[in-house]
Chains A and B, each alone.
Chain A
Amino acid sequence: MTESTTQASRREPSGVAAMPGTVAPPVPSPAPPQLSSPTRKGTTLAAGAALVIVAVAFVVPLAWLLLASINPSATVSVTVPTSPTLQNYRTVLTPELTFTPLLNSLVISGTTALITVLVAVLAAYPLSRYKMRFNRSFLYTILFGSCLPITAVMVPVYALFVTLGLLDSVPGTILFLAATSLPMAVWMMKNFMDSVPISLEEAAWVDGASSMQALRRVVVPLMRPGLAVVFIFVFTQAWGNFFVPFVLLLDPAKQPAAVSIYTFFGTNGAIAYGQLAAFSVLYSVPVLVLYLLVQRLAGGSFALAGSVKG
C-alpha cells in the first residue's frame, strides 16, 4: 500500500491524476489542454529528421563541387579523394583559363553596378522626395519591368545589337545589363532613400544647398549601406549572368567567366571534371563573400533613423 502511494505521488508531477492503489499506465490523460512535452519532443524529432533529409539533398551536389575540385581523378559522381591535391587549381590558374575571364567578369559586373547605382540614385531622388502623380505610374511601370522575363528577349536583343553595331562590344553589353537591372535597382534605392529622414535635408536647403547638393552631401552619405546593398545586388546578378554575355559577346578574349566556364566545359568537361569544379569554386567564392557582406549591411541600414535625434 505504501509502495503504491509513493508511486502515485511520483506520478503526480506529470499531470496524471492517478488514483491511489492503481498503477496508472502511461496513457495520456483525456485531452490535455496544453501541449504535453512528449508530443513536442516528438514534433521536434520528426522535424529534425525531415531537416536532415533536406540537408542531405542539398549538401550532396555542393559536396561534389568541393570534393571534385581537390580530386585529381574526379568523375561526375561524388567521391572522397584518396589523395587530395590542389593540382586542379594549379592547372586552371592560368591567365587564359582563369585570370582573364575573371578580370572580364570584374570589369563587366563592376561597371554595370557602378552605372546602375549612379543612375538609380539620381532617379530615386525625385521619386522619394517629391509627391507627384507621375511617381506612382512610373514606379508601377518599373515594377512591371522588373518582372519581365528578360531571357525571353535575348533573340531580339541580339538582332537589335546587330543593327546598332554593338555586337561583341563590352560597353554595349554593360549598358544592356545596367538597363535590365535598373528597374529593381531604382525600386530598392527609392525604398532606402525613403528611410533617410527629410528633416536633415531641409536643414541643408535652409543653408542654401541645391537639391543635387543635398543629395550628394546629405542623402548619399546617410544611405551608404543601401548603396552598397544595391551595388552588390547588381554586381552579383551581372557576375552570375551567363545568357547575356553568351549571346552578345563573341570574342573569347572579352568573355566573362560565366561564358568561358561553359566553353571550357564544352571542350574539356568530359575529361576534366576536377578542373571544372576548381574553376567553378574560384568563380563562385566572390559571390558567396558578397552575399555574406550584404546580409550584414542590410541589417545595419535600418539604424538610419537614429541620426535625426541628438
Chain B
Amino acid sequence: MTALDTQGPTRREPAPAGSRTGGPGAPVKGRARTALRLLPLSPAIVLMAIFLAGPIGYALYGSLTNAALSGYRAANPDFVGLDNYTRLLSSGQFWESAWLTLLFVVASAVIGQNVLGMALALLLRSGPKRLGSVVSALVVMAWVLPEIVAAFTLYAFFSSEGTLNTALGWLGLDGPSWLILFPMLSVILANVWRGTAFSMMVYNAALAEVPPEITESAQIDGASALQRFSRITLPMIRRAIATNMMLTTLQTLGVFTLIWVMTGGGPGTKSSTLPVLAFQQAFKFAQVGYGTAIATVTLVIGAAFALVYVRVLKPEVD
C-alpha cells in the first residue's frame, strides 16, 4: 500500500481518501492514472472554458477593437489597440461612473448591509424572540424575491407618488422625487433593503459561535456592553466580518437589474455605475468595443477583490 502511495507523482500525503488503490483501473500508473481520475472533471472544465473563460478572453480582445452593435463594424471590427482605454481614462463620464460605483459599493454594501446586518444579528439575540423571527423572515424575504420584483417594489416605494412620499405627507412633509433628485441615495437604500439578509445571516451564525463564558467573565470584570462588543465579540468574529465584507462588495459591484429598473442609470448618467454604463455604451450608443472596455475594467476590479478574498482569507479547501 505504501509503495502504491509513493508512485503517484501528484500525491503529497497518504490521506485517508487516497489510501486505497482508487478502485478499478488500479494497474494504470502515474500520470495516466491521474488523467483517468480527472476525467469526470472534463465536462465542467469544457463548459467553463467556453462560456466563462471564453467571454473573459473575448472581453480582453474585444476591448481592443472598435466593434459596433450592428452594421459594417459589427462584423468587421478593426483592431484599435488601447484606443478604447485611452478614451476611457480621459473621459469624465467614466471617472464619474467609477466614483458612483465606489459610492454605491461602500455606502450600500460595506456600510449599509454590513452595519445593518450586524445590528440585526445583535438585536435578534437580545430582543423578544417571536418578534425577532418575524423580522428575520421579512428581511430574508426581501432577499429571496427575484431581483426584478424587488426592483419594481422599491421603484414604487421611492416614486414621487409612492409610499415613502405618502408617509411623509402624513407628517406634513412634502417629499421630493427621490428617483430623480436623489437617484444614488434611492438605489443605495434599495440595495441595503435587498441585500442585508445575507450579512444578517452570516453575523447571526458568527455570533452564535462566540462562547458566552468569555463575554460573561468580561462582564463580571466590569466591562460595559460596548466594551464587550468592541474588545471581545468583534475581534473574535473578525474573520466572518472580513469574508462578509468581501462577498458583499463583490456582489454589489455586479448589481445591474436593481439600478436599471429603478432609475435606468439616470437621470442622464447620474446613477450609472460601471455595469450600467457598459450596458448603455454597448446597447444604447452601439459602441460594443467601448462598452467592452468598461466591462473589462469592472471585471479587473472584481478580480482584484476576488484574488484578495481567495489569497488572503484562504477559505478552507480541504
Which residues of A line the B interface, CB within 8 A?
31, 33, 35, 43-44, 47-48, 50-52, 54-55, 57-62, 64-65, 68, 75-78, 118-120, 122-123, 125-136, 138-140, 142-145, 147-160, 162-163, 175-176, 178-180, 182-183, 186, 198, 202, 205, 208-212, 214, 236, 239-240, 242-243, 247, 258, 261-262, 265, 273, 276, 280, 283-284, 287-288, 291
B8 CB → nearest A CB, Å: 8
Residues of B within 8 A of A288 (CB): 141, 144-145
B residues 304-318 touching A (CB-CB < 8 Å): 305-307, 309-310, 315, 317-318
Q: Which 9 A-B pairs have the closest CB atoms?
A: A149-B254, A179-B51, A47-B127, A147-B306, A240-B146, A156-B59, A123-B44, A152-B298, A131-B18
CB <8 Å contact, A261 and B148 = yes
CB <8 Å contact, A152 and B295 = yes
Residues of B within 8 A of A208 (CB): 24
Chain B residue at smallest Cβ distance from A68 = B156
A93 CB → nearest B CB, Å: 17
A215 CB → nearest B CB, Å: 8
Chain A residue at smallest Cβ distance from B34 = A132
CB <8 Å contact, A153 and B299 = yes
Chain B at the A interface: SS class: helix
Residues of B within 8 A of A265 (CB): 152, 261
A159-B58 contact, Cβ under 8 Å, with A75-B161, A123-B41, A243-B257: yes
CA distance A139 to B305 in the complex (A): 17
B166 CB → nearest A CB, Å: 4
Chain B residue at smallest Cβ distance from A123 = B44
Chain B residue at smallest Cβ distance from A31 = B222
B27 CB → nearest A CB, Å: 14
25 contacts between A and B (CB under 8 A): A47-B122, A58-B138, A58-B139, A59-B138, A61-B153, A75-B161, A76-B157, A119-B43, A122-B40, A123-B44, A128-B17, A134-B34, A149-B254, A149-B302, A150-B254, A155-B59, A155-B278, A158-B282, A163-B58, A180-B51, A209-B24, A273-B156, A280-B152, A284-B146, A284-B149
A134 CB → nearest B CB, Å: 6
Residues of B within 8 A of A243 (CB): 256-257
Binding-face segment, B91-99, B129-137, B203-211, B232-240: B129-137
B257 CB → nearest A CB, Å: 5
Partner of A130, one of B17, B52, B247, B292: B17
Residues of A within 8 A of B310 (CB): 140, 143-144, 147
CA distance A209 to B22 in the complex (A): 11
CB <8 Å contact, A175 and B51 = yes
Chain B residue at smallest Cβ distance from A35 = B219
CA distance A239 to B288 in the complex (A): 27
CB <8 Å contact, B153 and A65 = yes
A191 CB → nearest B CB, Å: 9
CB <8 Å contact, B147 and A140 = no
CB <8 Å contact, A54 and B139 = yes
Chain A at the B interface: SS class: helix
Residues of B within 8 A of A57 (CB): 193
Residues of A within 8 A of B15 (CB): 131
Asked whether B218 is an interface residue with its Cβ less than 8 Å from the other chain, the reply is no
Residues of B within 8 A of A77 (CB): 156, 159, 161-163, 165-166
0/1 per residue, B241-272, Cβ < 8 Å to A?
00000110010011111000100000000000
CB <8 Å contact, A242 and B55 = no
Residue from B10, B23, B157 having most chain A Cβ neighbours under 10 A: B23
B134 CB → nearest A CB, Å: 6
CA distance A153 to B318 in the complex (A): 30
Residues of B within 8 A of A155 (CB): 59, 278-279, 281-283, 288, 291-292, 294-295
Residues of A within 8 A of B128 (CB): 44, 47-48, 51
B12 CB → nearest A CB, Å: 6
Chain B residue at smallest Cβ distance from A177 = B51
Known: A48-B128, A76-B162, A156-B62. 19 other contacts (CB 8 A): A47-B122, A51-B135, A54-B135, A58-B141, A61-B154, A76-B157, A119-B47, A123-B44, A130-B17, A130-B18, A139-B317, A152-B278, A153-B55, A155-B291, A157-B58, A179-B47, A239-B146, A280-B149, A288-B141
Partner of B299, one of A119, A152, A179, A287: A152
Asked whether B220 is an interface residue with its Cβ less than 8 Å from the other chain, the reply is yes
Residue from A47, A125, A183 having most chain B Cβ neighbours under 10 A: A47
A131-B147 contact, Cβ under 8 Å, with A47-B126, A58-B139, A147-B302: no
Asked whether B187 is an interface residue with its Cβ less than 8 Å from the other chain, the reply is no
Chain A residue at smallest Cβ distance from B41 = A123
0/1 per residue, B115-126, Cβ < 8 Å to A?
010011011101
Residues of B within 8 A of A59 (CB): 138
CB <8 Å contact, A198 and B16 = yes
